[in-house]
A = this chain, B = another copy of it.
Amino acid sequence: MPVNYHTPAATDLWPVAGVRLGVAAAAIRKPDRHDLTVLALDPGCRVAGVFTGNRFCAAPVHVCRRHLALGSDIRALVINTGIANAGTGEQGWQAATKTCAALSQLLAIDDRQVLPFSTGVILEALPVERLIAGLPACLADLRIDNWHAAAHAIMTTDTVAKAASRRFVIDGRNVTVTGISKGAGMIRPNMATMLGFIATDAGIAAPLLQQLLREAADESFNCISVDGDTSTNDSLILIASGQADVEIADPSTAAYAKLREAVIGVALELAQAIIRDGEGASKFITVAVEGGHDREECKRVGYAVAHSPLVKTAFFASDPNLGRILAAIGYAEIDQLDVDRVRVWLASGGKEILVAEKGGRAASYREEDGARAMSEAEIAVRVDLGRGSAHAAVYTCDLSYEYVRINADYRS
C-alpha cells in the first residue's frame, strides 16, 4: 500500500494535444495484463530524454540515445513491461531494433523515428515476436485521453499507477503538462527514473527542452531512492507538441518560468509517487539538508541518510534511534565537516523537534517527542551542516519486512 498516494482519476489527467496513447496485452511475461504501450506523436513534436548512468544500460536505452542523437523527428514511443531487455547482449540490441522496425512499418514512418523502452527482469530475453504481435492492438486503442490506462500498463512491482497533470495559462492560452511514471524498486536514478514520460502542448525549442528536462530531473527523479540500486533502464522523456500555440524560446521569459514550474511540479509529483509506492514502504521520508558548501555535498549527506538500512529500519519501527542518522551524516565523506556545528531536526505533522546539536543530543530533546514524530507516515529529517548556504532534499521510504518479501519473491 502506498503512503498517502492515490492514482488520479482518468478524468483528472488533462490530454495533451498531439499525443495519443494506446495499450494492449501482449503476454510479454504474464498473460492477461496490459504490458505494452504506444505513444503516437503528431508531426512537429519535440522530444528530449535523459537516461541511466548504469554501464550495463539496457539495449532500448542505447537505441533511444542513438535515435535522439540523430535528431530525427520522433513520432512514436513503445514501452513494454515484464522484461527489461538489459544484460541481453547482441540479441537484446536486435530485439530493440526489430521492435522499432515493426512499429515504424505499421505507422509508415522511419524506424529511427521510434524510441523503445523496456522494464522488468534483467538478463532474460525479450519475446520480441509476442511484442510485435501486440502492436496492432495498441494502435487500435490510440486515444488522446488514455494517460490513465498507459500509467497502469507500464507498472512492474508498482502497487499503484502514477500520473500527474497540470493546466495553466500563458499569454491567454491554456497550456497542459501531463506525465506518468513507474518504479518501486531498483530506484536510485542517476540521470532519470525507471521510466517517466511527460508531455506538454507548449512549443519549446529543442535545446531549451533538453535543458528544462535536465533541470526537472535534477529536482525530482534525481532526488529519490528506495534501495540505492541504480537501474539499467532509467529513462525520462519530455515531449513538447507545440499544439497549444505557445512557443517558448527564451529561458528568461515569464512563460518559460511558468512552464518550468509546471514541468518540475509534475516531475516531482511523479518521482515522489515512486517513493510513496516504494517496495514495502510504510513511511514517506524527506531528508532536507541545508547549510552546505554546495548542492552536491547536501545531496551526498541526504543520500547517506536515505540509503542507510539502519536509519530505514528505525523509521519502519518508529524507533527514534537517531544516533543512526548522525552516524550516516558522519560517513558521508564531507571534507572537514565540523560536527559541532551540525544540527538535526525531526518534523512531522507540522511540528519540528531539535534532536542533535554541538556534536550530541540537544538538551531540549525528549525521547517521547521523537517517538511521536517517528510514528507518523510522513516524516522530515532536516540537517543543517552549518558551513554554507546550499541546500537539497532527498526523498526515501522505510525498510520493512515487506521489502524483503517482495524482493525475495519478485520473479516467482
Contact = CB atoms under 8 A, between A and B. Distances in A.
A231 B316 contact: no
B323 A123 contact: yes
A401 to B, nearest CB: 5
A331 B231 CA distance: 8
A88 B357 CA distance: 10
Interface in A381-410: 399-401, 403-405, 407-410
A186 B89 contact: no
A121 B92 CA distance: 49
B411 A321 contact: yes
Given A229-B328, A330-B56, A360-B90, A404 B401 contact: yes
Contacts of A188: 331
B410 A405 contact: no
A359 B87 contact: yes
B89 A358 contact: yes
A186 B123 contact: no
A91 B230 CA distance: 41
A309 B360 contact: no
A351 interface: no
Contacts of A358: 89-90
A326 B56 contact: yes
A185 B312 CA distance: 13
B122 A326 contact: yes
Interface of A: 53-57, 84, 86-92, 121-125, 185-186, 188, 190, 227-232, 307-310, 313-314, 316-317, 319, 321-324, 326-334, 337, 339-340, 356, 358-361, 399-401, 403-405, 407-412
Given A55-B339, A56-B326, A123 B316 contact: no
Given A53-B331, A122-B326, 15 more contacts: A55-B332, A55-B339, A56-B326, A87-B323, A122-B323, A123-B321, A124-B323, A185-B310, A227-B309, A230-B327, A230-B330, A232-B323, A232-B330, A313-B403, A317-B407
Contacts of A326: 56, 86-87, 122-123, 232
A232 B328 CA distance: 9
A55 B409 contact: no
Contact of A408 (B55, B57, B317): B317
B91 A310 contact: no
Contacts of A333: 53
